[in-house]
Each structure stands twice: as C-alpha cells, then as structure tokens.
Structure 1
Amino acid sequence: MKAVKTLSSSELFSHPGRLLEDHLISVADFIETFLDEKPKDLVEELKDLAIIVALTHDIGKATSYFQEYISSENNKIKLKNIETRHSLFSSICSFYLAKDILKDNILAIFAYIVVKRHHSNLIDILDELSIDEKELKVLNKQIDSIDDKKFSILCEKIKVRGLNRLLTKHVLYDWFNNFEKELSSLRPKIRRLNSDPRNYIKLNFLFSLLIDADKSDVVIGNLDSFTKRNNINPNAVDVFLKGRNFLPSPINDLRMKAYNEVVGKIESFNIQDKLYMINLPTGMGKTLISFSFALKLKKVLRENNIFSRIVYSLPFLSIIDQNSKVFEDVLQKNNVETSSNIILKHHHLSELYYKVDYTEFETNEAKILIEGWNSEIIITTFVQLFHTIFSNKNASLRKFHRFSNSIIILDEIQALPLKYWNVITNLFLSLTEELNIYLIISTATKPLIFNDQRVINLVDKKFYFNSLDRITIVPNITQKITLEKMKQKINFDLEKSILFIFNTISSAKKFYYLIKDVPNKTFLSSHILPEDRQNRINDIKRGKYQIVVSTQLVEAGVDVDFNLVVRDFAPIDSINQSSGRCNRNALNKGKVRIYYLKDDNTGKSYASYIYDPVLLDISEKILQEYKELKEANFLEVLDKYFSLIKEKKTQIESDKIFESMCKLKYDCGDNNDRCISVSNFHLIEEDYPREDIFIELNSEAEKIWLEYSELIKIEDRFLKKQKFEEIKSNFYKYVISVPSLHQNASNLPSIVNGFRYVCNAMLDTYYDRETGFILDSNNFMFV
C-alpha cells in the first residue's frame, strides 16, 4: 500500500461527510487487501487494473451537479437528474487509464463495464458498446461544471495513491469526444469471443472486487474486520470423533473405514489436483468426512501460502441448521469460539447477526459482512452459491471473488437440475484453474456430472455399496393404485416405525386423514410453518412418533431413521434418497416399499404432477426388472439410470447459457423472449406464482407482526428496509408460501400491509394444527 502525501482537501464529497479522495483511496486499499489472499497469477494479471477501477469508479462525482445534490438536505429528489449521474463519466476514465497500461483492450473494456455497472446489474456487453449524442452532450456539460482547483487536488491525491496518470479536464474532453470511435473499433472483437469462459470469470472477479470494496468502505469504513484470518485445527473432526465413544458395530466400523480412507488421501495430496469425489451410500457420515478432509486440505494449502476458506453448500434450506450444528459441535469440542468470522450461515433468511469476540456489529455492518462471506467456514445453499456463479445481479456477484483459493464442498449434488449439468461442469473446470478452487463433491447417488478424468475418487465406492445390506427396496409398480388400496397393504401393528413419503401435499394430507385413527403420528410438508416443522423434525429424531406422513422434503439430508419407508413412485435417485431414511444404523433389516399411486379424481399418477416423464419412464423400466432390490445392487442401478438419462435428456439450454457466458451476454432485457442469457439460469424453476402468508400462530408471532406493522409506516425506504432486515429471520418463521393460482387457492386470506395475513382469531379458518395451511383444492401438487 503506497503512502499518500498530505495535501489540502479537494472539498469534493462522495457521500455525506465523506471526501471523494478518501473514499476512492479507501476502496483501493480494500481491493488491495482482498487481493492479498488471491492466486498469485491472477493478482499479477489484474491488480493494476483493479486499482485503476477503484481510484476512478466514483470520479464522476466531482461534477458540480453531483456536489450540489450530495450537499442538499431538502431537495435531493428535485436535484437528482441525468447530470448528477456519475457511472458513465467514471467508466470512460477507467477505460482509457486501463488502455494505457494494457496490451489487451478486452480488459480495458472490462474496466469500463465494471465501473459503469457498479450500481446496477450486468447486461449484454455488446449493448454497452455505444454512446449517443445526448449522452455525449451531458458528459461535456459535466466536465464544464467541474471546479478546476478542486479537481486538480483530487487527481493529484489519487495519482499519488497509484493512478497511472494525472487527470485534467483537457484530457477528459479529448477522451469523451473520441470514445465512440474506440467503441466502434472494439465491437468486432467482442463479437468474435469464442467458447472460452475465462473472460466471464475475469469480468465477474473484477466486478465483485469493486462492489464488495465499495460497499464495505461505505458501511464498515475500516479494514480491521477483513485483515485477520484464523487458523482452525486440521484434526478437529478427529478430536470430535474420539470424544463420541461410538459403540462397536459393523456399520460404525465401515463408517470409520470410509473416514480414514478419505482423510488418509491428504498424505498424497498433489496441489495441482482440484476435483475430488466422495461417493458413499446414505448414512455413511459424508458430512463429517468431507468437513475433515476440507480442514486438512486447508492446512496443506496454508503451508503453500494459499489462504483458503471452506464453502459448504447444500441444496435444501431445511437441513442448513442441522449440518451447521454439526460443524459448530466439532469446533466447540476443540475449544474454538464459533464466532461469525470462524463459521457463518448464509441464506436468504439468515439472521443478520455478526459477532467477533465481544463485538456485535450493527445491522447494516452485519449484512455487509455476512453477504460478503467474511468467515473461514461458510455454510450456504445451492441457490446462494450457484446464483453467485451464474448471475448478472450486482448483489449476487458481490461475493464472487471469495471463491478464489476456496475449498468448495457440494453436498447432495444429485439435486442439481439435469438440464444444467453441462454448463456447471464446464464452468467449474475453468473456475478451478482460473480462481484456484478446490472442489469436493459429496453424493450418495453420483450423477454423470463432473464425469471427468481429472476427478480424484477419494473412496472405493463399489466396496462400500457392496458391503451394505441394511435395506431392501420392493417395487410394487406393475399397476397404479389408490391411497385407500395402499393403506390396506400396510400392517401398522407389526411395524415399529413407518415413514410415508408422498409426491404432493394433497396426497399426503388425504392419506393422513385416512389413517386418522392410527395413534402416535405426525405430518410434514411445506405448508407447516417453518418453526413448527423444525420442532416436529426434532421430535421425530427423539423417537416421539411411530408414524410420519411427509412430502419428499424429508428425503434428502434430514437425519431421521425408520424401520419401514413407504414411498410413492418417483425417479430412482429420489427413491435412493428416501431409502437413506430407513435403517441407517443397520440395527435390523429395513424395507422400502414403492407404490405407484394415482389420484382418485383424475386417474393420473401423483408422480406425473411433479416429475419429468422421461425420468419416470426410465425409472419404471429399470425397477420392473427387480422383485426386490438389495442395497448392494444400488450402485449398478444408479449408474444405469444416470447413463440412460444422459442419452435421452437434452443439454440445449445448458449449452446456450454456457455460450452466453463466453460471449458475455449477461442479460437480454425484457423485450427478447427468445434470447438465452446468463440471467436465464434458475436453479429453482417457479412454474407458478406464489404468495407469502403470515400466520399469527402464537404470542411471539403476534409480537413480530406488531413490529412489522409499525415499521411499514416508515417513509424512508432505506430505513424501512433496514428495520425489516432486523426482524426478517424471525418474521419468516411464521410465513408459508402457497400458489396464487385462482383455481387452486380459493382460501387465501386478505392482504394487510403487503402480506396475506391470518390473525390469531382466524387461525382455525386457515391453519390446521396438524396438517398446516388449509387450501381449498383437491389437487394441490407441491411439497
């Protein structure tokens, strides 16, 4: 970091009370700090460019138009107009300064794009490469308005900090009036971009650095929270396991064998190997195995001057808390304070709480630190992770630079949509090289994704699948039957515990009421409030219920165990996940019975309402070959299933998104329905509109609703948003989402303060304490 000579103030401001030169220099300091932990080759290529971007990203705020606007207390709305805008002005400066030091004009364009869009989202880069007469006229007016003396002081200060050229108004006139010619010469080059995703990665990286540094400077203001990194005992899981005193048993012996096999591979670690696979049957302890391997890998990388973070990602919000608790228990067993800079949960409903030692950060500060992934271990969802990698959105891309040098664990990777296999595989192969990412893939049902020779298998998967005989799958799928018929086939008196898994909420509810006389049962679906749902899962784990009726939300990752699992027909990978809820600890012989259930009203199978017909057809043909399917045969069945899927399912959308990434086509706008861009990537497809409903279940919910009702009156939208962020995590404990389709949603409550609201007095009209939200529909199809 270069020392800046003491000069008089420019008296220009970037934010109320903040000198423009101080902000620009501080953002450069933040970026330099971020780059200290990035891959050496990437830093050498992009550091000078990143500093230019930092020192010029707000230089357009030097105009008298912006200065009058920022200093006004009462007329901000009136004063805000096209002349107060600063991004285009600043971005042209960044372009020419970058062009002066670079041989590759593509990177100069990146500087232009990054600065121009640092307050908005990325679009198609070709749409950025033009400037009209109106914009040029405004730019010249903005230069005219600048105070010469103040601008001179500002430019001298940022030149001393590291800018490669001293700027003057004369230079700016020349640049701005020749810029269209520059863009015209560059458009053909952009059109010729090929199938190489490296430009996409570099542009995202630069964009991420700037917007993270910019926001962090404005909200946090100092580097203290970003400079301290923490070491974690690489043997933390070993210590944890030794203290658990597991009873000797064949299944526990097998788990320890798998654990030792994986962590033992760290001894032969090659720093050039970036892709790892842990493919083990369900219930074998993959969570702890992958965490231990990652901690040991983190130590080895640190010994090679690579400072990594662990990003552990899961497909389902419902199991974030469960697995986070496991990691926290491991750390606490090793006397590690689980402060926010050590371990952090991040998803769209995360509590805005960030604490280090005895310091608890304010809400705005906590939001910046959490959403910027400022921690050694980040536990997050697939949505957060993949919508950071495949995105055009400013808020999502902000943490993209955190991927560099990281160790990413993708757990339950089979949950990724098949249509995106190609683009995810292709981009990650480039990310591992460009950003030096180490990827650990954890799965019980290895799909043909990352099916690359560079993947290092950390276990002998055939050995572990062949060694198990915990469960037998019995496919009863030769004909479709009703819920009533299935009920007649179950002997509730003989079975110690039964888990029923249905494909739709309506079928689960119907069956629950069919067995209303069966005692000791409970119900799970997404129409049970999150707070209530988690309490029920905890009770299930404690063995409180003999019978559980659930949708498939329980099938992956939720650590529950039953003697018998009864599953409505589904694709084979889902059936395998459901099987993981049966006889996990090999205490007896577990059974998984599959029935092909049909809707009484339509004659259609419930499976057809929610699953791809191709996947159902493949699964049916494979399972019809078996009267019984032993656990030792699961691997060959899964391999056959995924091979047939790859043959029959198209990757057209995946390939088009990859092409868009390579051509830097981030977004096509609202006027081109046929265009496929990066913004078309949606991990979760919303095929139907949803509406959120607040359920005033108890006194705590009533208190939260009153808080919400008060803050909604706040006129300042930024303050209103901040206040809601403070209660959001607790607020959404009492919110469920239902489809707003009129034919399926005739029992929706009225809207109050922007939310559909069920007051406690009306609770029985809208919410059943056993089965959740009451929706007047015979065919409610969601989980």
Structure 2
Amino acid sequence: MACMFRKFKGISTMTRPTFIAHCTDDNRFQSVHDHLWAVKNLCETYAEPLHLSHVAGLAGWLHDAGKYAQTFQDYINKSHDGDPNTHPGQVNHAFAGARLLGAFLNQNFDDDAIYLSELIENVVMAHHNAGGPYDYVTPTSGESPFLQRQSQKIKDWTISEIKQHFFEDFSQASFEAYLDEAIHEVSMIPDKQQETQENFYLRYIASCLIDADHLETGDFMVGKTTQQESQGASLDALCRINEEKAALQARQNATDTTSGQGMINRLRGEMSQYCLAAGQADQGIYSLSVPTGGGKTLAGLRFALNQCVTHYLDHIIIVSPYTTIIEQNTRAIRQRLDIEPSDRSTVLEYHSAIGNDQVEQDDPKNDRYYYARDTWDAPIIMTTQVAYLNALYGRGSKNLRHMHRMVNSVVIFDEIQSMPTKAVEMNNVAMNWLAHEGKSTLLLCTATQPSLSHDVLPIGIDAPKEIIPDIPSVETAFKRTELVDHTAKVWELDDLMNGLKSELTRVSSVLAVMNTKKAARQAFQQFNELNLDVKGYHLSTAMCAAHRKKVIKAIRENLKNQMPVVVFSTQLIEAGVDLSFGSVFRSLAGIDSVIQAAGRCNRNHETKIG
C-alpha cells in the first residue's frame, strides 16, 4: 500500500543498438527491446488492482513495436546526427503494434478476443494522440476514427517486417501464451460491463500505458538509476498517527465540560467515531451529512484512512470545488498527520494555483514532488473538481496519466452539492464505475446532500450509505445560529449598510455573502465610504490565489484577536472555509447556500446563538 517513488536504472549504452527506441545528446542509447519490456512491466503493476495486468502489459509490450521498422531507425539515426530534414512524427510507428496484434487475432472470432483487440489496438494506435482513445466514435458524424485507422494504408513499414524483428527480440511462444492470459482476463469482465463500460476500460488501459511510457522514457532521458523506494509515509503509518491524534483529542474533549467550544468538540468527536466504524466496514458509496462546522474534514480523513487499511487501498483522493478549501484542508491534514512543511508529496496539493516557484529548487525531496505531481502516485491527493473530471474525461496525456490512480482508492467529494449541474450525471457514471468495477470507495461530504440516486435522476448512483445514524438529532445538537428572514423587502446597498451598522453594535464580526462578484465588490466599496472604525475585506474568485490567500490570513488574524471586521464575499466562502463570524448576511439564494452561509456564523460556538 506504500506509494512508490521510481528511480530509473535503465539499460543504456554508448554503442548504438540495432534498434533504437530513444537516444540522448550525450550519446546514450536505449534499445526498443529494453523500452518495451520496461513499459510492459510498469503497465502490469499499474493494472494489477483490476486484475488486468496482462491486458495493460500487452499494450505496453506492443506500443512502440513500430520502432523496429527500418524507416524509423533511419529517421532516429539521422535525427541524432543532426539532419535538419528530420522531424518528430515523420514515421508512423504507433500503428504497428496494433497491426501486429491484429495479425494474431484476425482469425479468432471469440467475443473476448475481439474485445481485447478493440481495447489494445485502439489504445496503442492512440498513444501519441492528444484525444486519447476516446476518439473511437465521432458522435456528430457517426464515423469511427478507430476503424479508419485500422484500414489506413501505411507506407513506412510492412507487418511482416515488424513481426520478424519483434520476434527476433522476444519469444513468439511466450508472446502467444501472454496473449492467452490477456484474453482470459477480459473474459472475467461480465458481458454487460464489457458492453456498457468500454469507455472506462479503454481510458484505464490507456492511462496505464501513457503513464508508464512517459515515466520510463523521461527517466531514461535524464539518466536516473533503476530502483523503487518508499515515497513518504505509508497509509498504514498515517492511519496510526491519525488514530493517536484522535485518541488524544477525545481525552482533551472529556476535560472541557462547560464551554461552548468544548461541547462542539465533543460532538465532532462523535462524528469522528461514526466515521471510524464506517471506515472499518465494507466498501461502497457513503455519504457524510455532518452539519457545517461539524469537523467533516478530519472525520472524513479518518474514514478514508481506515478504509485503506481495512481493504488494502492505494490512495486517498479528496476532490474540492475551490482552491481556497484545498489550501485550508491541506494545511489541516498535514498538521494532523505530523507531515513536515517541506514534504509536499505525502499530501499532494494539485491545482492551478500551485506553481514551480512554490517548491524549493534545492530541496532533496524536489524529485519526489514532481514525480507525485505528474503521476498522482501519492498517499493523499488534494485536487479540484476540474482536475478530477479531466482525469476521467479530459484531453491530453497530463490528464490521462492520472486516471488509473483512482481505482482501488478512496475518493472523497468535499461539498458534493457544488458539482456543476452539467457535470452531475457524467460524474454519476464515473462514480458507478469506480465503485463497482474500479474497486474504490466513494464518500460524499456536505451538510446539504444533493439527490443523486437512480430514483431521482435518469443517470443516478446507488443510494449512498449514510454514516451518521440520526441526522435530525445531530443537526439539533449542532444548532448554533438563528435564521432571520428579511425577504419581505428587496434590499438596496443602503439597507445592507444599515443592517451591518446595526449588527456591529451587537457583535464584532460580520460576513456578507453576495451572489455575484460585482455585488460583492460594490458592497465593499460602499462600506469603505462609511469611514467606520472597522476593517473591511473583500473576497472573490476574481482575485488571484496568492492575493485571496493573503486576505483570508488577515481575516483569520483579525477574528482571532477579536478586532472589528466586516467581510464581503462571493459564495466561495460558503464551501468549507473555516472562518467564524458573529453575524452573517446572505443574499437570497437556495436553501443549501443559506445553510452553508450559516456555517460561517458562530462556527465554534463562541456564543450561545449566532
């Protein structure tokens, strides 16, 4: 279950082999044999969780068979020697492996052999295609690029040439036995899954191949050594640390029996215990309907760590709607698990606001971070809904490489209600595959659970198993706010300013959540014109990440020091941002948004009611 940091030990030579796969400017050469065998072995490892090692391994073994063509060898030798008339893609080497497999299977009319042929030929032919294997059907025209590729005439080589040289390097009898194993693995996929889930199996095998090919090629080109060593702490070790912290927190909670904070902490401890029990139960799709401020981040982490230990799962992937939540939760989880600030690969933060400038260039753990970033081979991955959906559906090898890490893992959807409406059903399809065929556990976290089941949506999921046994009682226990309805009158900005001034006579901190970036900015500007002796802040997704992070830090310091403060924000502050205000104003919105906004009020039970 330990994640692995791979260093390349690859076989390279200063003497040009007969068939070159890669070469470097410092005259190192890698043979086609060594490259194919190394990629095959990596693919086998990646696909082992779904018992498709031979299927993925076959793709790895065949993917660059076209480099046995003399035309490719002429090209790569001329390119290495500086011939200006050569350019990448000059020789079609990607189709040869598919044609070679077709030569073995074209008289095999067994359904499983045909299915394997479609999987492997498609993946191999598309392994240099930015669209990946998804372009085997064109929805608008009904044409099949896959079938067009199968019949396309190739002038760069003949299949007899490829077959001859391939089996000079490898045993044909061993290859045929391996092919039979791959067909057997496909036969273990139920017919219905073969028919309805082929897109995900295609994507999965392609993900294994592209990740292995990029990793192996990149390592050869920079000349690393071959071995694998543990990358950071294992999930078992992290689970032990977390259980020790949970036990310590429980003892501390037991000593505070009078304060509001103590009461909230005990309730959070109860939520954590429920998650511990569920974490040690069966796999499946779970929901965690903890009220806002109920400690779902650490409770969900406890659930996930115990699921990984109980079921030998490989990764925890936490999907959040906003980078502000990711940054906040990453800090909380790293602190909880005693992870050093310099260790950016045990809990990997993956989103658009993370740049190379945020990683110390002199850090010896630098390679581990970049490896984890490119491959998602980390114990815990904190990422966005966009990156998650890109891994499942997006173009480009960067996205495709991540997909196979989602199987045999725990995927936590933080604030699942914020999934864009247009993406809900495509996410439901993915969740069904991950839970049923992908051997993953899914956890839907929010105080306002959306209805995603089959009886509500045409494309739904199995009804999640709720972790919290008595949600109404828990909601009552966590009640810390009173909702006041001011919708009888349409408020202008002047009305909001009067309401803020009135609340500031009662509390020291107020939050106003607006529906648009423009409204939040205008309210902030008008508040500043009042010249009150109160610090005002503005938060919006229009701000760059570094600026937003700086503002949230300043707000947190003001709240900690109980200095008068008013914050004007878009709804980004509603989803999981750990700030607590004495009073909150919310522009008219759906009840889920109102509940989420209320979660920023009296969050830690600083007063009896907020």
Q: TM tier, shorter chain?
A: 0.7 to 0.9
Matches within 5 A, 1:69-218: 69-71=75-77, 72-73=79-80, 78-80=85-87, 84-97=91-104, 103-104=111-112, 105-120=114-129, 121-122=131-132, 123-126=134-137, 127-131=144-148, 135-136=152-153, 138-139=154-155, 141-143=156-158, 152=164, 154-159=166-171, 162-164=174-176, 197-218=196-217
Choose which of 273, 276, 279 in structure 1 pairs with 2:286.
276
Question: Per-residue deviation at 1:98?
Answer: 5.9
Tell me which residue corresponds to 1:331. 337
1:632-665 residue CA offsets vs partner (Å, 9 max, x unmatched): xxxxxxxxxxxxxxxxxxxxxxxxxxxxxxxxxx
Pairing 1:317–2:312 present? no
Question: Per-residue deviation at 1:401?
Answer: 1.2
Amino acid at match of 2:168: E
Choose which of 451, 464, 472 in structure 2 pairs with 1:462.
472
Could you state the TM-score of these two structures normalised by the residue count of structure 2? 0.80
Contact 2:330–2:382 (CA under 8 A) maintained in structure 1: yes
Pairing 1:573–2:601 present? no
1:703-724 residue CA offsets vs partner (Å, 9 max, x unmatched): xxxxxxxxxxxxxxxxxxxxxx
Question: Per-residue deviation at 1:308?
Answer: 2.2
Matches within 5 A, 1:521-540: 521-540=536-555
Question: Per-residue deviation at 1:52?
Answer: 2.0
Q: Sort the Cα spacing of 1:528 and 1:354 in 2 relative to 1 into closer, same or farther, 3 A.
A: closer
Tell me which residue corresponds to 1:515. 527
Matches within 5 A, 1:537-548: 537-542=552-557, 543=559, 546-548=565-567
Tell me which residue corresponds to 2:508. 496
Amino acid at match of 1:250: M
1:317-363 residue CA offsets vs partner (Å, 9 max, x unmatched): 1121111111111211xx789745532111234345889x984345x
Contact 1:30–1:213 (CA under 8 A) maintained in structure 2: yes
Amino acid at match of 1:218: T
Q: Sort the Cα spacing of 1:400 and 1:98 in 2 relative to 1 into closer, same or farther, 3 A.
A: farther
Tell me which residue corresponds to 1:443. 446
Matches within 5 A, 1:631-780: none
Tell me which residue corresponds to 1:406. 409
Distance between the aligned counterparts of 2:403 and 2:418, measured in 1?
A: 22
1:504-526 residue CA offsets vs partner (Å, 9 max, x unmatched): 23222222222221232222223
Matches within 5 A, 1:193-342: 197-221=196-220, 224-225=227-228, 230=234, 231-243=236-248, 245-246=252-253, 247-248=256-257, 249-266=262-279, 269-270=281-282, 273-301=283-311, 306-332=312-338, 339-342=343-346
Q: CA RMSD in A?
A: 3.4
Contact 2:344–2:369 (CA under 8 A) maintained in structure 1: no
Contact 1:88–1:116 (CA under 8 A) maintained in structure 2: yes
Amino acid at match of 2:67: K
Tell me which residue corresponds to 2:10. none
Distance between the aligned counterparts of 1:128 and 1:100, measured in 2?
A: 23
Distance between the aligned counterparts of 1:329 and 1:487, measured in 2?
A: 39
Distance between the aligned counterparts of 2:178 and 2:566, measured in 1?
A: 75
Tell me which residue corresponds to 2:140. none
Tell me which residue corresponds to 1:605. none
Question: Per-residue deviation at 1:214?
Answer: 0.2
Alignment gaps of 5+ in structure 1: 1-7, 168-191, 592-783
Contact 1:471–1:590 (CA under 8 A) maintained in structure 2: yes
Question: Per-residue deviation at 1:117?
Answer: 0.8
Distance between the aligned counterparts of 2:295 and 2:173, measured in 1?
A: 52
SS of 2:390's partner is: helix
Matches within 5 A, 1:590-629: 590-591=609-610
Question: Per-residue deviation at 1:200?
Answer: 1.8
SS of 2:352's partner is: coil
Question: Per-residue deviation at 1:422?
Answer: 3.2
Q: Sort the Cα spacing of 1:223 and 1:162 in 2 relative to 1 into closer, same or farther, 3 A.
A: farther
Alignment gaps of 5+ in structure 2: 1-14, 24-28, 138-143, 180-190, 455-460
Tell me which residue corresponds to 1:51. 57
Contact 1:407–1:437 (CA under 8 A) maintained in structure 2: yes
1:270-329 residue CA offsets vs partner (Å, 9 max, x unmatched): 3xx41111101000000000101111221111xxxx342111121111121111111111
Q: Sort the Cα spacing of 1:528 and 1:590 in 2 relative to 1 into closer, same or farther, 3 A.
A: farther
Amino acid at match of 1:523: H
Q: Sort the Cα spacing of 1:31 and 1:476 in 2 relative to 1 into closer, same or farther, 3 A.
A: same
SS of 1:473's partner is: coil
Question: Per-residue deviation at 1:243?
Answer: 4.6
Distance between the aligned counterparts of 1:144 and 1:384, measured in 2?
A: 39
Tell me which residue corresponds to 2:348. 344
Amino acid at match of 1:257: E
Number of aligned positions between the proteins: 538
Tell me which residue corresponds to 1:27. 39
Q: Sort the Cα spacing of 1:378 and 1:82 in 2 relative to 1 into closer, same or farther, 3 A.
A: closer
Pairing 1:431–2:434 present? yes
SS of 1:380's partner is: strand
Amino acid at match of 1:128: P
Question: Per-residue deviation at 1:450?
Answer: 4.4
Could you state the TM-score of these two structures normalised by the residue count of structure 1? 0.63
